[in-house]
Chains A and B, each alone.
Chain A
Amino acid sequence: MIRSFLRSREAILLAALIALVLLVETRFAGFAAPSNLAAIFNDTSILVILALGQMLVILTRCIDLSLASNLALTGMVTAMLNAAMPDLPMGVLIAAAIGLGLLMGAFNGLLVWKLEIPSIVVTLGTLTIYRGLIFLVSGGEWVNSHEMSAAYKALPRTEILGLPLLGWTGAAVVAAFAVGVNRTALGRAFYAVGGNPGAAIYTGIEVGRTRFQAFVIAGGLAGLCGYLWVSRYAVAYTDVAGGFELDIVAACVIGGISIAGGLGTVTGAVLGALFLGTIKNALPVAGISPFWQMAISGAAIIVAVAFHARRQPGRVILKPEAAR
């Protein structure tokens, strides 16, 4: 078990992550301090959660580009609800956020399932639609910090054992995924559908329905993150999390989730998100310009993919055609 982990791509990614942290530590003492690492994890929690949702979608040979728009729209809706009805209990607000996210995920999933439109086309469309809806519901207005209730802003910041609730939420989602993906029939179905759709059909798994389920879960998580994001930054506007959909995909790719489907692990997605999050945290510390940060993040993606691609041999997919 341990031996096979050491040879896995997750182990290599973990080593790279540790090396990165130590490298920054040599230049800026305190970077690797537990409190700072906890802060980085807290900071990256939203990316971790979304990367896990995206992972399910990618496992089924699809992709969801609308997650950041979904997040921004639910974030805006929760902020406006809170501003209009400050006494609405947080539980109701969070349930509404998740529900709205699920709905948007279900819309993506239905188009992919019932109309068999390629997911990249569907979600490229809904990316714009959901983003446009923000403008329609808000009229382009911002919801600012002073309009939000104290409870709305405080909840994710509540610290338990030194880690804010935001970080704990991330950890809880990771734990749920670790069990759900590896130990439920649905989790297995995601791998089967992406690994070999034809075989999945013959095993009694409905490919379209399974994809739909992946989109719904990813959408629900995006809804949850909508509240977390807006509450954390204490501001909601049309362009919240603009471009973040690509960070989510990047985290998955760095984490070794194969865009071809059927391959990838929860550990990989989490490490991929943390790797990206650490880079984004470390570079400002090192005083590197944001433009270089983008280039470095981009390079990390390509290196990761090139690395995974090189590790492919050893797997024999195409056998010489048997004699006929």
Chain B
Amino acid sequence: MKDTETDADPVLRLDGICKTFPGVVALADVELALYPGQVTALVGENGAGKSTLVKVLTGIHQPDAGTIRVDGAETRFPSAGAATKAGITAIHQETVLFDELTVAENIFLGHAPRGRFGLVDWTRMRGDAAAILDRIGARIDPRTPLRELGIASKHLVAIARALSVDARVVVMDEPTASLSQAEIEELYELVGRLKSEGKAILFISHKFDEVFRIADRYTVFRDGEMVDAGLIADVTEDQLVERMVGRSMDAIFPARTATPGGEVLRVEGMSHPTEFADISFTLRRGEILGFYGLVGAGRSEFMQALFGVTRPSSGTVTLDGRPLVIRSPADAIASGIVYVPEDRGRQGAITAMPIFQNVTLPSLAQTSRHGFVRMAEEFRLARRYTERLDLRAAALDQEVGTLSGGNQQKVVIAKWLATRPAVIILDEPTKGIDVGSKAAVHEFMAELAAEGLSIVMVSSEIPEILGMSDRVIVLRDGRIAARFDREGLTPEALVRAAAGYETAA
């Protein structure tokens, strides 16, 4: 059901776009067309290649192959500036603004109106800024310093900035993710106004209700490929979910045969003032419990609280029948709960340190005698766990920064296994690593579970959740939206629960 019949010519057309990163194919032969006065929704799982496409569109990434046509003429965007000049503007997921500048300065940074002698014409800038803010229905004084605004208002400023250039194509990457319901309504109105001004809009969203509410067309991405496109009027939500999830089970996951044992961890009524509420679950010995949810559903925030990085406002944690008081990560590690964070760069490995020191960092008590670290002991410990993970490194005193992403992840996992924990929390364990390393990590997780380690796995990748979990908890907006056993677990059910689209399948 490819839609090629069009009443208008597309403003922007992509054909055969390919983009690979080391070890990963991000976009494979992708096509996309955007029409004036129409909203095209781009849907797909996390990691389907949507954000990469946005970066190609806005000149941040260069495609390896394929053509970009603006008004039928082939063109290239060697820089972000070139894309802007061609009339393409994007509102990114995380807004890139400057807290210390005023709203007007933020809107016009880089293209401020100039007066005599090339000096910035401040009066005109403020006037123009006020006009744009007014147009999008934002009641913000352009002279306000940005830092005084809330997240939603900052978002409006980002939108105003996008519109301050004479844009013909507006890309919105999950624009409603951080907005309240009232603000979302205002955004929809704004989208309507942009449509009536004849702008072509690419709207990236996980939320099906809004896709069906505001989009005219849709494009579905899966694993870096465009799998379907057409008119919204021609599809149902069920069909869209099905296409988005697809089969995508062709990744091979290790067989899980062992049955989980007795209860190890019990979490009851964990709440946080702003991030999550009323989270309760149990984890059994040798079990893999999957946590699924959209980005921003509160999964990582909850795990950080469980690990003692942040403090929950209420709730109890019991490990092996003993109640735990976890005030810091050190407490959690000492009790046998460890956390492998999602952000490997900022929270995982210490890249300037050699591999063996990274591995032994939380286990120095194990490798020390009388308060002094024994290097031979360190090497032994590091070797034992890195070998188990099949780490590819020339030597254990090599700096971690010289390793590939997949191998860095192995060092981080080895570091935590070396503490011999009872419970390991893996936050997006295979995010951003190549397919081969992914399989190795999955294999290893299954082995660990079989040996009796209890695993909490946070993942945004449906195949991984389906392939690895014994049970799954779905979070939405900081609360448990659904629980699944291995039976009754379908991709469609997961997506529905996570997106809050509840209809009988």
Contact = CB atoms under 8 A, between A and B. Distances in A.
A203 B362 contact: yes
A188 interface: yes
B346 A196 contact: yes
A202 B51 CA distance: 28
A323 B346 contact: no
A200 B350 contact: yes
B117 interface: no
Contact of A199 (B328, B330, B348, B401): B348
A308 to B, nearest CB: 13
Most buried by B among A196, A316, A322: A322
A192 B339 contact: no
A61 B124 CA distance: 44
A141 interface: no
A310 interface: no
Nearest to A200: B350
Given A198-B343, A315-B402, A324 B348 contact: no
B309 interface: yes
A202 B25 contact: no
A185 interface: yes
Nearest to A318: B345
B19 A195 contact: no
A319 B329 contact: no
Interface in A123-180: 179
Nearest to B22: A320
Contacts of B95: none
Given A192-B361, A199-B346, A315-B352, A322 B432 contact: yes
B352 A262 contact: yes
Interface string A172-212: 00000001001111001001100110111111111000000
A323 B351 contact: no
B312 interface: no
Contacts of A321: 21
Contact of B368 (A185, A195, A324): A185
B371 interface: yes
For chain A, which range describes its interface: under 10, 10 to 19, 20 to 34, or 35 or more residues? 20 to 34
Contacts of B258: none
Given A196-B351, A320-B22, A322-B405, A206 B433 contact: no
B235 interface: no
B333 A204 contact: yes
A2 to B, nearest CB: 14
B399 interface: yes
A322 B373 contact: no
Interface in B31-90: 46-47, 49, 51-52
A195 B401 CA distance: 11
B290 interface: no
Nearest to A320: B21
Contacts of B431: 322
Nearest to A4: B397
Contact of A323 (B24, B307, B329): B24
Contact of B373 (A184, A195, A205, A323): A184
Closest 8 CB pairs of A and B: A323-B26, A322-B432, A204-B330, A195-B350, A198-B346, A323-B24, A185-B364, A196-B350
7 contacts: A182-B373, A184-B373, A191-B353, A206-B328, A316-B402, A323-B21, A323-B27
Interface of A: 4, 179, 182-185, 188, 191-192, 195-196, 198-206, 262-263, 314-317, 319-324
